[in-house]
Amino acid sequence: MHEPSATPIRIDFVSDVVCPWCAIGLASLEEAIARVGDAVAVELHVQPFELNPAMAPEGEPIDEHLGRKYGLSPVQLEQNRARLRERGAEVGIDFAARSRIVNTFDAHRLLHWAGSEGRQLDLKRALMRAYFTDGEDVSDVATLARIAATCGLPEADAAAILASGAFTDEVRADEQAYLRAGINSVPAIIFERQYLVSGGQPVEVFENVLRQVAARREAGIDPAK
């Protein structure tokens, strides 16, 4: 068995909280990381992306939004949902009915703070579960603070951050950096700041990429080549 490199493979998971394929992609990626186990050390970072940065704080009905944005009929919307439920079930996600899509900027501010507290992945999972499975409003500040508390973060601190403009500049800067890099759809999964995998791929795809990146590093191959 090969010993893992002392330096973990960096993975930047660029995504939005209300993106169903992002939820599938994160679950698949984490399963792939579990499969490679101790053979590959990994450092996973959650990065912000807003599918709808101009979304009003109160959001809008999801069918109306998706129909207008993607030109989908009610039949097509239901076909897409059936596919999502099937793919979600494969990685342990229960996609329940959702009536609204909401603004996610405050959620991204909270995730930025959670990163400094070592709770970012816990909060990301909890936010996605709250939205996709429990049907909660992840734009509501009281809901966000409560969800943060379930992840071991101080609820009062979360509420104070949400009531202020804390981390606004940092999140905006991160979002703009990924847009400038050409990221215009999510999930976008970037390995070692060099290799891009797009979409909610199957577990096997992420596992293969992890093993290939680790093998290139072990062979001393420059990841830029």
Counting the structural domains of the chain, the total is 1
Whether 43 is in a domain gets the answer: no
Q: What is the pLDDT of residue 217?
A: 85
Strand residue runs (E) in the chain? 9-15, 42-48, 60-61, 100-101, 188-191, 195-198
**CA trace torsion 219, 222, 223, 224 (10° rounding):** -160
Look at residue 166 and tell me if it is in a domain. Answer: yes
Model pLDDT for residues 167-203, shown as the tens digit of each residue = 999 999 999 999 999 999 999 999 999 999 999 999 9
pTM given for the model: 0.93
Please give the DSSP secondary-structure letter assigned to residue 2.
P
Give yes or no for residue 219 having a pLDDT over 90: no
**Within a domain: 118:** yes
pLDDT band with cut points at 50, 70 and 90 for residue 218: confident
For residue 136, being part of any structural domain is answered with: yes
Range of the domain at 124: 103-182
Residue pLDDT, tens place only, 39-64:
999 999 999 999 999 999 889 999 99
In angstroms, the CA 91 to CA 89 distance is: 5
- Give the confidence band of 128 by pLDDT, cuts at 50, 70, 90: very high
Which pLDDT score is estimated for 97? Answer: 86
Q: Are 105 and 171 in contact (CB under 8 A)?
A: yes
Position 111 pLDDT exceeds 90? yes
Q: What is the mean pLDDT of residues 63-87?
A: 94
Torsions phi, psi for 57 (to 5 deg): -55, -35
Task: Assess if residue 108 is contained within a domain.
Answer: yes
192 inside domain? no
Q: Can you give the CATH number for the domain in which 130 is found?
A: 3.40.30.10
Domain membership of residue 91 (yes or no) is: no
pLDDT at position 20 over 90: yes
